[in-house]
Amino acid sequence: MNRNALLLALMGLLLFPLPGCPSGDDDDSADDDDTTADDDDTTADDDDTTADDDDTTADDDDTTADDDDTTGDDDDTTADDDDSAGDDDDTTGDDDDTTGDDDDSAGDDDDSAAGVVPLPVFGIWDDTAGFHAVTDHAWLLWSSWGTSRFDITQSDAAGGWLVAKNAASNQYDPGLWSKFEWFEATGQLYYCQTAYNAASEGAAVSAVPADQSNLNGGCGGFAWSTLDTTAAAIEIGGVNVDEWATEHTITDYAWTQTSSFGSSIYNITQFDNAGNWVIAQNDASNSLNPSLWSRLDWTWYMDAWYVCQTVYGAATEQSALDTPAADSTDPTTGGCGGFTWSLLTP
């Protein structure tokens, strides 16, 4: 065979491989640009239907992958962010949803289930046995038997009951549990202290309900008590909150202050609406200056009530009375022992 014939034969083998020769890497059924290979095919890694990128079941930009898909992590319906069941801005997630933690209907902040449901018994009342002030924190009772405080732990507005722990300072059954029930009939509000010495909160909740059909004996064998609206004789009477988030419940009998630090009761012995002052003995249960004496002044300034506890640790009632009144010239700038007066708002 001459040289020209040999060159033609070799070129023929390159252009037309013999059967049985191994397949190469490019443009065949193997690795590159084929139907089962790695690149640009239907089952490979890139730009195919089941591979890693830009396919229907892969990691990116597909229907079940991680990003921008329907079940992935971001911007999908069941993933973590901006979806309907995810963590943020969804219907059941953590923030800005209907059942989440913030700005939702049943969450922790700024939602419709937060805060306190007003109860029909909130307010200041009189009955045949004593004088009541009921707030979202406590049921306070003043009677000939002394002052009693019941710190509310749970309530049911629809069921007409609340449960409270008897204050440790109560003369009767201190530290035990009470249940109060109420109902309204023909414009009259009735109440019954169904339990007053339950051993636990659960026992108070489970106490046998009072019988509303028997006004004369349905309250544990006794008559139900009426709660009648009343206006305190003391000019500043009512329930208000100051700018330090302290609640002031003021009646003819006591000035009670409740805050995150606890409660303090000042049992009023005398007051003067013309002079705008109260003299009270600090309750024995107060954490500061128990059983000593206080003077509290008030003033009406710029359409608002301002108060000042002018003295809080006087040795006697007379020394509290002899304490000069606070300077009410401008309660917003000072006059209360070097401090501003406290602004009360409903």
- Does this model's pTM top 0.85? My answer is no
Is the pLDDT at 73 greater than 50? The verdict is no
Buried b (16+ CB within 10 A) or exposed e, 84-99: eebbeebeebbeebee
For residue range 291-329, list pLDDT tens digits in order: 999 999 999 999 899 999 999 999 999 999 999 999 999
Joined together, the tokens standing for residue 188 give 């009259």
Phi-psi category of residue 47: left, alpha or beta, with phi > 0 → left and psi -120 to 50 → alpha: left
| Cα 66 to Cα 55: distance, rounded to the nearest angstrom | 12
Is the pLDDT at 242 greater than 70? The verdict is yes
Q: What percent of the chain has pLDDT over 70?
A: 66
DSSP 201: H
State the pLDDT confidence band at 130, using cuts at 50, 70 and 90.
confident
| Cα 236 to Cα 109: distance, rounded to the nearest angstrom | 33
Position 334 scores a pLDDT of: 95
Joined together, the tokens standing for residue 248 give 């002031």
Is the pLDDT at 207 greater than 90? The verdict is yes
Is the pLDDT at 74 greater than 80? The verdict is no
Give the chain's end-to-end CA distance (angstroms, integer): 117
| Cα 265 to Cα 43: distance, rounded to the nearest angstrom | 79
Q: What are residue 5's phi and psi, to 5 degrees? A: -65, -40
State the pLDDT confidence band at 116, using cuts at 50, 70 and 90.
low
Is the pLDDT at 47 greater than 50? The verdict is no
Q: How far is CA 129 from the centre of its chain?
A: 35
Are residues 167 and 150 in contact, defined by beta-carbon separation less than 8 angstroms?
Answer: yes
DSSP 91: S
Are residues 126 and 230 in contact, defined by beta-carbon separation less than 8 angstroms?
Answer: yes
Which whole number is the average pLDDT over 48-73?
Answer: 43
Is the pLDDT at 266 greater than 80? The verdict is yes
Beta bridge partners of 122: none
Residue type, 202: G
Is the pLDDT at 89 greater than 60? The verdict is no
Position 219 scores a pLDDT of: 97
Dump strand ranges (E) for the chain: 123-126, 130-134, 138-143, 146-156, 161-166, 177-185, 188-198, 225-229, 238-242, 247-250, 254-259, 262-272, 277-282, 293-300, 305-314, 342-345
Is the pLDDT at 76 greater than 50? The verdict is no
